Homo-oligomer: A and B are copies of this chain.
Amino acid sequence: MNGNHYDVAIIGGGVIGGSIAFQLAKRNVRVVVLEKDRIASEASSAAAGMLGAQSEFSNEHPLISSMAYPCEKCPSTPCFIPFALKSRDMIVPLAEELKELTGIDIGLVQKGILKIALTEEENEALQRNYEFWRRMEQSVQWLSVDDVAVFEPNVTKNLRGAMYLPNDGQVSAPDLSLAFAKASIVYGAEWQEFTEVLDVAQEGDDYRLRTNHGTVHAGAVVVAAGAWSALFLEKTGLSLSMYPVKGECLLVKVEKPIIQTTVFAKNGCYIVPKKGNRLLIGATSTPYTFDKKVTVQGIMSLLERAQQLLPTIRTAEWERAWAGIRPQTGDGVPYIGEHPHYKNIWIATGHYRNGILLSPITGVIIADLVEGKGSGEFDLAPFSLTRHQATYTV
């Protein structure tokens, strides 16, 4: 149905593909986004939307603790930290730009994230984390039990300590994803929904993508297909160390706001206050499955942990539950870079549960790479497609 030629074809219409499409279209690159279902129909719409540049990354994160960090470029600071921090900072002007272009309010809330330690062991880990951020010279506060009682009076009193990260925030993940898509369209990008790419072949300097809706030709290809990326890349002879991780979430509604900030337990449960007195409770982690069924077990475990953190949540009204499939990698680090065998096939995937946070910077970096501008201030070695002998095992 479409034999047109594009500068760049992006495979995957989630938040990462959308951010890349937006950046490229803004630079007058002729872009088409090929999405197998609808815009942001997978993990991007299922996400809680936290901008956890600090809450998600710490001295214990694989990028920092187990890789060759600090790297040469920035000997005193692990360089993934500036990467996440920068992406978080990009959100503020982006919210305005997207609102201007599309009318969509991405729901940016800048009230911080409060990490709670419920056990002594968690408390010690959290304190190390706190020290880490102080050394990094990032905003962070330590809150005693009494401080928390004043700051978020509905949070459980059965806690040992808490760390407040004032600069972490949140957005509406579906709205950010839609805003990227719509803004890219304003700048001329095309989106083809329900369009699955079956295979890709080189044809002179171009790539020919066969889809269920005909053939698309493009000078460059970007694979941003989330948890489905590895399956597609297998067809190009590239085995990545990736696996899907199901995450279940809930939405409940309270009569009056009971928390101001996002409350995040060390046990993995978080509660994010959303528009209209909603609270989003996330998330379970079930690896190695593409099954999006919400289970009784998932709901029970989320409700139990949420009630432990925030006892008054028991009176909240039930709204709904859903699941998304997140793209995890063997070492927990995204893949961002060029295909090792094919020039001008670019890959941006494996963002796991940080796709929303990292979408702004991923969009800019891939757009720069596609345009031959290099990776700027960032060393992309840790994101390299060839950083290890990858095997996809289920």
Q: Determine how close the nearest CB of chain B comes to the CB of A75; give it in whole angstroms.
A: 42
Establish whether residues A318 and B296, one from each chain, have CB atoms under 8 Å apart when the complex forms.
yes
Q: How far is the CA of A292 from the CA of B231 in the complex (A)?
A: 24
Chain B contacts for A276, CB-based, 8 A? 104, 178, 182
Checking B104, B195, B294, B304 against A317 with a beta-carbon cut-off of 8 angstroms, the contacting residue is: B294
Which of A9-17, A59-67, A307-315, A363-371 forms part of the interface with chain B? Answer: A307-315
Given contacts A1-B394, A182-B277, A394-B1, contact A318 B321 (CB under 8 A): yes
Q: Tell yes or no: A378 within 8 A of B by CB.
A: no
Asked if B296 and A303 sit within 8 Å, CB to CB, the answer is yes
Is B198 a contact of A234 with CB atoms below 8 Å?
yes
Interface positions, chain A 265-298, Cβ under 8 Å from B, are 275-277, 288-298
Q: A73 at the A/B interface (Cβ < 8 Å)? A: no
> Which B residues lie within 8 Å of A297 (CB)?
314-315
Cα separation A297 to B317 with both chains bound (whole Å): 9
Within 8 Å of chain B (Cβ to Cβ): is A203? no
A255 interfacial by beta-carbon distance below 8 Å: yes
| Number of A interface residues in the complex (CB < 8 A) | 52
Interface centre among A104, A256, A300 (most CB of B within 10 A): A300
> For residue A277, which residues in chain B have a CB less than 8 angstroms away from its CB?
182
Give chain B residues whose Cβ lies under 8 Å from the Cβ of A315: 295-297
Contact of A231 among B198, B228, B303, B304 (CB under 8 A): B198
Q: Do A275 and B198 have beta carbons less than 8 Å apart?
A: no
CA distance A315 to B289 in the complex (A): 14
Asked if A330 is at the interface (CB within 8 A of a chain B CB), the reply is: no
Q: Which of A289-343 contact B (CB under 8 A)?
A: 289-300, 303-304, 306-307, 313-318, 321
Q: Is the CB of A307 within 8 A of B300?
A: yes
Considering the complex, give the chain B residue whose CB is closest to the CB of A319: B294
Q: Which residue of B lies closest to A37 (CB)?
A: B292
CA distance A191 to B212 in the complex (A): 26
Q: How far is the CA of A299 from the CA of B195 in the complex (A)?
A: 23
B295 touches A316 (CB 8 A): yes
A394 and B213 contacting across the interface, CB-CB below 8 Å: yes
A151 contacts chain B at the CB level, 8 A cutoff: no
Cα separation A252 to B294 with both chains bound (whole Å):
10
Nearest neighbor of A38 in chain B, beta-carbon distance: B293
Q: Measured between alpha carbons, how far is A195 from B231 in the docked complex, in Å?
A: 12
Taking CB atoms, residues of chain B closer than 8 Å to A303 are: 296, 299-300, 303
B105 touches A105 (CB 8 A): yes
Distance between A215 CB and nearest chain B CB, rounded to angstroms: 8
Determine if A103 is an interface residue (Cβ-Cβ < 8 Å).
yes
In the complex, A317 Cα to B194 Cα: how many Å? 14
Rounded to whole Å, the gap between the CB of A201 and the closest CB of chain B is: 13
Contact with B along A98-133 (1 / 0, CB 8 A): 000001110001000000000000000000000000
Residues of A within 8 A of B (CB): 1, 103-105, 109, 178, 182, 185, 191, 193-196, 198, 212-214, 228, 231, 234, 244, 252, 255-256, 275-277, 288-300, 303-304, 306-307, 313-318, 321, 394
Known: A1-B394, A185-B256, A300-B300. 20 other contacts (CB 8 A): A1-B289, A103-B109, A103-B275, A104-B275, A104-B276, A182-B276, A185-B255, A194-B292, A198-B234, A212-B228, A212-B231, A212-B244, A212-B290, A294-B318, A296-B307, A296-B317, A297-B314, A298-B318, A300-B307, A318-B321
Provide a sorted-by-A list of 9 A–B residue pairs whose CB atoms are within 8 angstroms: A1-B289, A104-B276, A178-B276, A198-B231, A212-B231, A295-B315, A295-B318, A300-B314, A318-B321
**4 closest Cβ pairs, A-B complex:** A297-B314, A214-B394, A194-B291, A294-B318
